[in-house]
Structure 1
Amino acid sequence: MFRSVLVANRGEIAVRVFRTARAMGLRCIAVHSEADAGAMHVAMADEAIAIGPAPASESYLRVERIIEAAKRTGAEAIHPGYGFLSENPLFAEACAAAGIAFVGPSASAMRAMGGKAAAKALMAAAGVPLVPGYHGEDQEPSLLAEEAARIGYPVLIKASAGGGGRGMRVVEREGGFAEALWSAQREAEAAFGDHRVLVEKYLARPRHIEVQVLADSHGATLALSSRDCSIQRRHQKIVEEAPAPFLPDAMRAALGEAAVAAAKAVGYVNAGTVEFIAEGDRFFFMEMNTRLQVEHPVTEAITGLDLVAWQLRIASGEKLPFGAEPSLSGHAIEVRLCAEEPRAGWRPAVGRLSRFVMPEGEGIRVDTGVREGDAVTPFYDSMVAKIIAHGATRDDAIARLRSALDATEVDGVATNLDALRAILAVPAFAAAAPATTFLAEHEAQVLAPPRPAPKRALLAAVAAVIDAERRQPAASAADPASPWEMREGWRLFGAARRVLRLHADGREIEVPLAYRSAGVMARLEGEEHALSWRRDGRDGAFRIRIDDTEAAATVLRSPGAVTVTLPGQGRWRIGIVDALEPARGDVAGDDRVASPIPGRVASVQCAVGDVVARGQVLVVVEAMKTELRIAAPVDGTVARVDVAAGDQVEEGMELVLLEPATASAQE
């Protein structure tokens, strides 16, 4: 066994590997970009080496810098994690050339499975079923269009090299093929350095099912149950579970046999995942991920295996001690907590985690690479944590996970937390196997506008504001402890009065207050309420008393707002209106096209003088593995273009200036 391991990655996977490696007695070495100098995985490491600026292309994707860091620190093995260089055969070869063990498969296995077209030819020879499609080398657009017509619409265009939903487009009819092909090829080239694509029949309501395989260098190859990863947004998974539910035993066995056949066809060694798409009782090979998967914890939960430990053992030459799949225990479900805005098209979000409280309890596991106070930047993936629940049955796991999400608190960055809660609450989720169309079919429930803030939430916000004011001494106070500096609302004649203005549910709410010795009298919706409160231990936890009723609430302060969580009822973000701020309204006019997030300009699709229509894509900005297609807000003429492909942009930065069409011109 090695004595030291370097993790050529960041975030939760680096933290995950370090925890296992340290338990095995190994020295842990981290690499990091400038943006990650204070990151959690760096703090955990025994030694850490800076490898470049924030963009991954200048740090985590630089093979020579990682190899040099391994040599400097005496690392005997490199674990690639997932993403970045994890499926790059040149990286595996560089490790071998430097005499460093690569914790993963051989470069030849990566090459065999890395190109989807070549991999599918291998799978056909191995007897693994394939989706009807075109997997050839000829990438002439006219030929691809002909093949799409032969296959029959709808079709799916997929990048030949890579995964994660990059370079993937669904085309419903012939008229949209050319634009979708151009877009997929450009994204594939940017993400993987390879513009080639394949075209396949698009299945209407498929399931995404995968099989974890584990193979040693002594000839043993095992299938470790199945996983269902069908609930996805932008072709990227957000809910995964094991074993895949509602599968006939014969189909489950056939999936395992096909996965083993696929791995053996390329001489696969180490941990990997064979992905299938299924509809009814039929399944088809999609691809093989020649690395550990993000969703590996659900397999660990039901098998009792530490897959990272076995990756390290296999890489050091150890033999698997079991000749068959370990017995399974219960059911596990994982959700990915991501920094994004689901109601804005699942747009990635950035910011600083002013509050980050993860759940605990029996059957609950959390994998994360961030802490409270850390920044979520536009340079890397938007996932901030994985929350996993394990129970005796699927219903038990769902119940535990719902409870865990209710106990999760995040503020400072927009997340998909409410959407995850809503997914688990959809009756169809518990009743039947979800398809990849789940979010589209249940969008009204998953992305429903939050219900109006109840009176208790509004008054909890009031309590938190006044409590914070009472605890904050005047900036000019010579003696903050002086009773003259206390903000208790005391007056010589009568009680102090004020009006607190809140913003919730798209409206401004005035709450007249009269201070009392214990709390305040608050008028809300025409009724007077005696309001008092006390802190309940940890930061943000309160016991709120309204008249003669007391209940728990968590209230998190952030600039200009508070987030109120009422156990079992929901959470609401309530604005605190500054009396001196201008009236609310749109900051930008219809002539201004700005970036909604920091990122890199992938392409500019307009030029000065172009006449454009409302909804026409003008600029594509890439951030956090996502492309944001920024469209014209109105009909008009492009007056100015302020960016070019490759430029880095900040949130709110102007990209294009339009001259809106006049009313007469539009008629």
Structure 2
Amino acid sequence: MGYFRKVLIANRGEIARRIIRTCKKLGIDTVAVYSEADAESPHVSEATEAVCIGPAQAKKSYLNIEKVIQVAKEINADAIHPGYGFLSENPVFVERCEEEDIVFIGPSAETIRLMGSKLAARKQMNKAGVKVVPGSDESIDSLEEAIRLANQLGYPLMLKASAGGGGIGMQLVHNEDELTKAFDATKQKASSFFNDGTVFLEKFISKPRHIEVQIAADNYGNILHLFERECSIQRRNQKVIEESPSPFLDDDLRKELLEAAVRGVKQINYTNVGTMEFIFDENKNFYFLEMNTRLQVEHPVTEEITGIDLVEWQLKIAAKESLTLTQEEIKKTGFAIECRLYAEDPITFFPSPGVITNMVLPENEGRFDFGFENGSTVTPFYDPMLGKIIVHGLSRDHAISKMQNVLEQMDIQGVKTNLPLLQKIMENKQFIAGSYTTEFLSENKGQLLER
């Protein structure tokens, strides 16, 4: 079964290899694009074809829309899979694909643009009856307006860029002085990073849980959820460990969350695979945070508990096929945990580029979605994630035990990694009890971040 003849993968590293794996299974030819820095990367040799698209700098290669489109036309690709990051949530890129009659494997440009604006997304969720964090529903254009609204909402507050992402353009403010100092700087940062200086205010949720819902929707109105993922182990607003099911939810709260996610997706007429992200306060109230209109880094957690290949579903939906499963037919089995392994100092989190001189992965005991192999060079040009370690267990305790064993057997030489940090988290009593929040790393840094 093949949904397309040839798919160009506009990405690199582990996600490019992941997409290639499913395409091979389906008999679809793949085209890897790569920068000069990635010429020896595994994804290049694993694809059916490979084309260099420019120098190491991402803006001259992986972010070069016209170059990617040019290559797709030259090699006669009938679809482009963007992976995550880079051009995956760029509506201009989607529009260029449409203009050239190339299928973009993802949602429409209109939907990406809508959900890329946090303010627009808040309005849509309000219409759908999905709770959002109390805050402003319009752009705040002046400091005076910000101060007036802040006094109404009450401190502490988050000052956020509407177009922001990855923790950029977010500033916690505890009082009027801090808001005054942060306002212009946050607007300028938003303009610089996202070419959009729109900012707004939200109530700050102290010690939240970050839980997201995986959804899939076809072109015929069928919307399915594939349960939730707990993503509260974070550093600098970047996820480090994910698991499913969440140890925080009971059956009733899970049902309420999943129904809210489906309602929100229906409101925006979404198609393809996507993720609705929520935060929970200490009283188990949950609020819509944002939607990621692409495949998530942590999608293997969902695949492990459902047995569903999400990349295959993306291809299927993009090829205008309908989802054949009903919600009742999607079952979750056991527990899955994913750890992200980074080439970075485990204490300072500074990137650690270099050559991997030895890599030992106990592959019979877990799933390893890695972008690198023994002898690979980790360059300083891109995100330092080496790959993801995923295990599945019959119970949460079983999954934790399996992850502990896998991490203990792993050995990476030549670059520093956060492997010691991952090992300490897996042995932490608070994590084992499932009673953690997004503040976990900062609260436990004395124990976790010691040399």
1:294-336 Cα shifts (integer Å, max 9, x gaps): 0000000000000000100110011111111511110001011
Residue in structure 2 matched with residue 361 of structure 1 by the alignment? 364
CA pair 400-63 structure 1, distance change in 2 beyond 3 A? same
Q: Which of residues 300, 309, 327 in structure 1 aligns to 2:331?
A: 327
1:507-543 Cα shifts (integer Å, max 9, x gaps): xxxxxxxxxxxxxxxxxxxxxxxxxxxxxxxxxxxxx
CA pair 314-144 structure 1, distance change in 2 beyond 3 A? same
Q: How high is the sequence identity, in percent, across the aligned residues?
A: 49
Residue 291 of structure 2 is aligned to residue 288 of structure 1: yes
Q: Distance in 2 between matches of 1:92 and 1:317?
A: 16
Given residue 396 of structure 2, which amino acid in structure 1 is its aligned partner?
R
Q: Which of residues 313, 316, 341 in structure 2 aligns to 1:313?
A: 316
Residue 235 of structure 2 is aligned to residue 242 of structure 1: no
Q: TM-score, normalised by structure 1?
A: 0.65
Residue in structure 1 matched with residue 302 of structure 2 by the alignment? 299
Task: Give the deviation of 1:73 after TM superposition.
Answer: 0.7
Given residue 438 of structure 2, which amino acid in structure 1 is its aligned partner?
T
Q: Distance in 2 between matches of 1:108 and 1:85?
A: 15
CA pair 183-34 structure 1, distance change in 2 beyond 3 A? farther
What residue ranges of structure 2 are gaps of 5+ in the alignment? none
* CA contact 2:140–2:199 (8 Å) conserved in 1: no
SS at structure 1 position matched to 2:369: strand
Q: Distance in 2 between matches of 1:347 and 1:142?
A: 38
Task: Give the deviation of 1:175 after TM superposition.
Answer: 2.6
CA pair 349-147 structure 1, distance change in 2 beyond 3 A? farther
Residue in structure 2 matched with residue 65 of structure 1 by the alignment? 67
Residue in structure 2 matched with residue 218 of structure 1 by the alignment? 220
Task: Give the deviation of 1:183 after TM superposition.
Answer: 4.4
Q: Distance in 2 between matches of 1:448 and 1:76?
A: 51
1:529-571 Cα shifts (integer Å, max 9, x gaps): xxxxxxxxxxxxxxxxxxxxxxxxxxxxxxxxxxxxxxxxxxx
* CA contact 2:339–2:422 (8 Å) conserved in 1: yes
**Structure 2 matches for 1:107-256, cutoff 5 A?**
107-256=109-258
Q: Distance in 2 between matches of 1:164 and 1:373?
A: 30
Residue in structure 2 matched with residue 341 of structure 1 by the alignment? 345
Given residue 27 of structure 2, which amino acid in structure 1 is its aligned partner?
G
Residue in structure 2 matched with residue 351 of structure 1 by the alignment? 354
Residue in structure 1 matched with residue 279 of structure 2 by the alignment? 277
Given residue 241 of structure 2, which amino acid in structure 1 is its aligned partner?
V
**Structure 2 matches for 1:329-478, cutoff 5 A?**
329-344=333-348, 346-362=349-365, 364-449=366-451
CA pair 50-129 structure 1, distance change in 2 beyond 3 A? same
CA pair 359-161 structure 1, distance change in 2 beyond 3 A? farther
Find the structure with the greater CA-based Rg: 1
CA RMSD of aligned residues (A): 1.5
Task: Give the deviation of 1:177 after TM superposition.
Answer: 2.5
Given residue 417 of structure 1, which amino acid in structure 2 is its aligned partner?
L
Q: Distance in 2 between matches of 1:190 and 1:350?
A: 27
* CA contact 2:140–2:200 (8 Å) conserved in 1: no
SS at structure 1 position matched to 2:347: helix
Given residue 350 of structure 1, which amino acid in structure 2 is its aligned partner?
P
Q: TM-score, normalised by structure 2?
A: 0.96
More strand by share: 1
1:373-395 Cα shifts (integer Å, max 9, x gaps): 22222221121110011100110
Q: Distance in 1 between matches of 2:12 and 2:147?
A: 40
SS at structure 2 position matched to 1:347: coil
